Amino acid sequence: MSALDVAAAVRSGSRSARDVVEEHLDAIAAREPEIHAFNLVLADEARAAADAVDAAVAAGRDPGPLAGVPVALKDNLCTRGIPTTCSSRILDGWRPPYDATVVERVVAAGGIPIGKTNLDEFAMGSSTENSAFGPTRNPLDTSRVPGGSSGGSAAAVAAGFAPVGLGSDTGGSIRQPAALCGVVGVKPTYGRVSRYGLIAFASSLDQIGPFACTVADAALLLETIWGHDPADSTSIPTAAGSVLPDLETGVEGLRIGVVEELTDAQGVDAEVVAAVERAAGALEQAGAKVERVSVPSAVYGLSAYYLIAPAEASSNLARYDGVRYGLRVDAADVTTMMARTRDAGFGAEVKRRIMLGTYALSAGYYDAYYGQAQKVRTLIIRDFARAYERFDALIGPTAPTTAFPLGAKTDNPLLMYLNDVCTIPSNLAGHPAMSVPFGEGADGLPIGVQVLTDALAEPLMFRVARAIEIAAER
């Protein structure tokens, strides 16, 4: 059942939330050992929450739009009293004293957190192989990666462990695993969803968003979590509105651009480009006007991102010092203690990015690296602005390939970074983007088509995504 169907059934009393939870816990018990989507399954907590939802229904109260819907939470979202690890040893034993705003909103809407999902450590990766707790496997082919960094949430939804899930997207960490696992993944406009309680990777890029099996379910979860939050200084101080009412409006008369820099990007397989072209044809048949469009500076997005994101990470991760929380490796003096704690607590990829970022921010190199990357970011924003003067929405590939084998790229960081080549530009611009499954590759694994729109244009983006979804179902 979809999340919308589950919520409707629980609210009407035709199904109990407890039965829904037990059904999903059974699914987790059956396949979790081979997939490893979760760092922690919240079985007892989920049952208690389900009983509370059922009690509300029995008392004639409406539990909310997510009534009884199990939700998988990426393990970089703070949950009060429940371990939140970021899949890192550095946070060993830490239990947050508060909930992330998105977690509060999910619970207030009747949603039931069913587990904390695995991720690349501190969300740094594209395959969920960088976790301190071992890799997650793609439920469609367990010899393949699920994508990353939100691979645990993507795998949980694809495997039926939860109808919907939450992830974070800094350079494609929702959309890329959504594409590889054959589900819908959404990165909202920067500031649309509160980051309060999201453990930071790169603060000017991070954004929380939903995974779902359908566009409508993704819209339901997004409507639940978005909106202004005074606790987040970057939260947009306007009403978020809604997406679901216009979902079936169609694309008649819309102007859709196929982004040349994304279809021609390095490493993008011909079968992925062919899927984008078929999606463009389907939109044209549905009444849209489709043309090619150039966003010239997008070709520099990968280079700019891998200076900006590590620089912000080196600043954000300085707080893990062995003093305030998490792991502590004792030593004779404070300096040695901090060094040993970080050496023991951080994995290789996190260390690599901290060193890259620290170098980019160092005296004598700041202007040449970080400053220059920020100028490129401005060019990308301007080029997208020009594109949106002519087009209502843009499309392109989400990931360059279908899911690749476990271990295939772990020894080549640059090759791994190329997995984000199509998703990074939207993060740098702060614009919304989402991935929708559309066809399969020669290996039988799903391909994702990416829909991009201007800032705050999520309702339009979802209309286009729904039209692509309808075409994929035919």
Report d(CA 102, CA 195) in Å as an integer.
Answer: 8
Q: What is the dihedral of CA 390, 393, 395, 399, to 10 degrees?
A: 130
Measured CA to CA, the distance from residue 446 to residue 86 in angstroms comes to 27
Residues 6+ apart with CB under 8 A from 331: 337, 339, 340
Q: How far apart are CA 280 and CA 373, in angstroms?
A: 32
Is residue 147 within 8 A of residue 399, CB to CB? The reply is yes
Element (H, E) at 437: strand 433-440
Rounded-to-integer distance, Cα 283 and Cα 257, Å: 11
Q: Rounded to 5 degrees, what are φ and ψ at 404?
A: -100, 160
- Residues carrying an active site annotation: 74, 149, 173
- The CA-to-CA distance between both ends of the chain, in Å, stands at 20
Cα 441 to Cα 207, 401, 437, distances in angstroms: 29, 8, 11
CA nearest neighbour of 410 among 208, 158, 206, 128: 128
Distance CA 174, CA 435 (A): 9
Axis crossing angle, helix 43-58 with helix 3-12, rounded to the nearest 10: 50
- What's the DSSP call for residue 244? G
- Residues 40 and 116: beta-carbon distance below 8 Å: yes
**CB under 8 Å to 226, separation ≥6 — which residues?**
188, 192, 193, 240
Spatial CA neighbour of 211 closest among 278, 259, 162: 162
Reading the block at residue 257, the tokens are 């651009």
Q: How many CB atoms lie within 10 A of CB 243?
A: 23
Best CA proximity match to 53, nearest among 19, 101, 29: 19
Instruction: Find the radius of gyration of the CA atoms of the chain.
Output: 21
